[in-house]
Amino acid sequence: MAEQEILRFSTEPKLGPSGEVGSGTRLIVMGSPALTEGFALIGFETWPNATEDDVEKLLEELERGKEKALVLLEPGLSRCPSGRLSRVRAESPRIVITEVPPLQAPGDYHPAVEDLVAKVLGHGALEKET
């Protein structure tokens, strides 16, 4: 049985199963310059001061090229009203999009999943026990 590769977190070229040259998973972060600078140190492609249009263009490029990618977005970009962003999140097996807290206010950050948990389990499920 062939070993199945789900995601390979590498930006280096790799050989595919039949010896062809392919590319690894693109690691991309879009957000404030301070946030993107830190991720650049560990090899991410960075998009400082990215806009909603930049997110659209990037996702279109990734889909068109059938590329694998891990895309990290700050909340302002992650929650933008983009049909493409919603569709890629729901349908693309090659593109993983996740949200990272902003550096300016990490204590005020609340992931979008909190709203879903509160709807399903009630607001008490999110309260800290003392």
DSSP collapsed to 3 states, 17-33: CCCCEECCCEEEEEECH
- Determine, yes or no, domain membership for 38: yes
pLDDT at position 13, please? 43
Average pLDDT over residues 15-31: 68
Q: What is the CATH number of the domain that holds 34?
A: 3.40.50.10580
pLDDT at position 17, please? 46
Domain coverage including residue 50: 21-102+109-126
112, 98 contact by CB (below 8 A): no
Number of domains comprising the chain: 1
How far lies 31's CA from each of 36, 73, 88, 91, in Å?
A: 6, 6, 19, 24
- Determine, yes or no, domain membership for 121: yes
End-to-end CA distance of the chain: 51
Q: What is the pLDDT of residues 42-59, one digit of tens each?
A: 899 999 999 999 999 999
Q: What is the pLDDT of residues 69-127, one digit of tens each?
A: 999 999 888 888 888 888 998 888 899 998 888 777 667 666 666 666 767 777 676 67
